[in-house]
Amino acid sequence: MILELIGYGLVRDSLLLLRITAVGVLLYLTIITARKIKETELISATTGFPIFLFAFAIHQLFFRISIFYSTGPLSGATLAASILGTTPFVIDLVVSIIFYLGMVIPIPLTELDIKLHSPANKSTKFPYPLTLIVILGTIILTPIVVILIIQTKLLVPISMYFIFIIFPFLIISVKYLNSFKNLEIVKKKKPTPLFLTGFIIAGLSNFLNAPIMYESIGYFVPILSDILVMSGGIIASIGWNRLPSLSELEWMEKMERLLIIHSATSLLLFEYDFQEADAQNTENIVDWAHSGSAIGGIDMLLGEILATEKESKGHIKEIEHENKSIFFNQGIATIAVLISSGKSEEFKFRLELFHLYFEKRFGGEELRSWDGELDKFKEADELIQQYFK
């Protein structure tokens, strides 16, 4: 018996406390990740991950506790069964179904989100292949699992569902993460390795609960399991929260380049490429040092012209040419220029905020008498991460 291996009393109660702590961590992460839902649409991948975390927490609370409290009065399933007037078998079955649905529901939510908001997938004729696979797989597996459960009177056959669902779940997760692969901001935050590493670490906890593991290392199994669940959940959630929603991806993908030009000399102080060179569909490599000077000169020329007009502040704010938009923001000693393939109020807000803190960090009024040294402006990458996230 497992209880004979891990003991009673203080040891067992300590394991119970650790398990409750792990469940509490998962529920806390559910709340933290669910806060992002208000930034996007309810029917989206942003909703899917909190659903998975919540289902995982329920599974940890009931099904896992009943493993090493299987004959005791404090079994999660036994306690719930006594309250609800049913059997531990039914409780474990319901909890398994909840966990399975927690892995299934994010799949159609994510595929729909990708279809609606990822420019690369909007033209896909049938954007829900994994959803179809999950539906068909569930239909095929259900009679097999039911027959095996009836014959064995055990829930072990239900693990067939989880062996099946893990592959579509991982595939849709990677597909969602790959939607951001052309954004330098997202790549520098490295959310994909964090999310996948955390997911794998948390998933390893499932393999520790085999009876052979209890026979090998005893009560260290639930200790290691809970540590893996907590650490994996935290790492995956950190990676997930570093991602923008796919609805934000639409405006983020339109940003191409940011330039900071010295107003007095029209020299380029800083530039940042938001997209990989091969993702911009440009045939020619642009010399942005000279282009920045030209743009600065245009602003100065038009500034003098516009300054003669009433109610004009003397500087251009925006230029449109074919499918390109150029946004200007005038500072104390520099001009911030954002080049994009579309328009968005988000551009203007973030450009103004970034430019304000750029000048504050690099000298403000002192920039008027800039000495020509460029290396210090490389630190502006940190501001990009902060204000264009």
- What class is the 2-249 domain? mainly alpha
Residue 58: its pLDDT value, please? 92
The domain locations on the chain are: 2-249, 254-387
Cβ atoms < 10 Å from Cβ of 384: 19
pLDDT for the residue numbered 294: 58
The C-alpha atoms of residue 389 and residue 219 are separated, in whole angstroms, by 44
Of 66-80, 184-198, 326-340, give the lowest mean pLDDT range: 66-80
Average pLDDT over residues 3-17: 63
Q: 74 pLDDT band (50/70/90 cuts)?
A: very low
Topology (CATH) of 254-387: Beta-Lactamase (3.30.450)
Say yes or no to pLDDT of 120 above 60: yes
User: What's the whole-number average pLDDT of the chain?
Assistant: 78
pLDDT category at 210 given cuts 50, 70, 90 is: low
- Give per-residue pLDDT as tens, 156-178: 778 888 889 999 999 999 888 88
Give CA–CA dist 14/16, Å, rounded: 5
Distance CA 55, CA 95 (A): 8
Q: Read off the pLDDT of residues 298-320 as tens digits, 9 standing for 90 and up.
A: 566 555 555 555 555 556 778 87
81-113 confidence digits (pLDDT tens): 555 556 667 777 888 899 999 999 999 999 998
pLDDT at 287 over 90: no
Q: How confident is the model at residue 42 (pLDDT cuts 50, 70, 90)?
A: confident
254 or 199: whose pLDDT is higher? 199
Whether 50 shows a pLDDT value over 50: the answer reads yes
Residue with the bigger pLDDT between 206 and 338: it is 338
* Fold agreement (2-249, 254-387): no
Written as six digits, the tokens of 214 are 């209890």
Q: How many CB atoms lie within 10 A of CB 245?
A: 17
Q: 328: part of which helix (H) or strand (E)? A: strand 324-330
Q: Rounded to whole angstroms, how far apart are CA atoms 282 and 264?
A: 30
Which segments within 183-316 are labelled E, that is strand? Answer: 255-262, 268-273
Q: What is the DSSP string of 122-188?
A: TT-S---HHHHHHHHHHHHHHHHHHHHHHHH-SSGGGHHHHHHHHHHHHHHHHHHHHTTTTBHHHHH
Given a contact cutoff of 8 angstroms between Cβ atoms, the answer to whether 105 and 51 are in contact is yes
Q: Per-residue pLDDT for 49 more than 90?
A: yes
Mean pLDDT of 61-88: 57
**pLDDT for the residue 111:** 92
**Average confidence (pLDDT) over 244-253:** 71
Residue position matching structure tokens 């299934």: 104
CA separation for the pair 265, 267 (Å, rounded): 5
So what's the pLDDT on residue 207? 74
First to last CA, the chain: 53
* Overall average pLDDT of the 291-297 stretch: 59
Q: Which of 109-123, 129-143, 312-326, 352-366 has the lowest mean pLDDT?
A: 312-326
The 10s digit of each residue's pLDDT in 337-364 is 898 887 776 777 888 889 999 998 887 7
Nearest alpha-carbon partner for 95 in 34, 137, 54: 54
244 Cβ contact list (under 8 Å, min separation 6): 180, 186, 252, 389
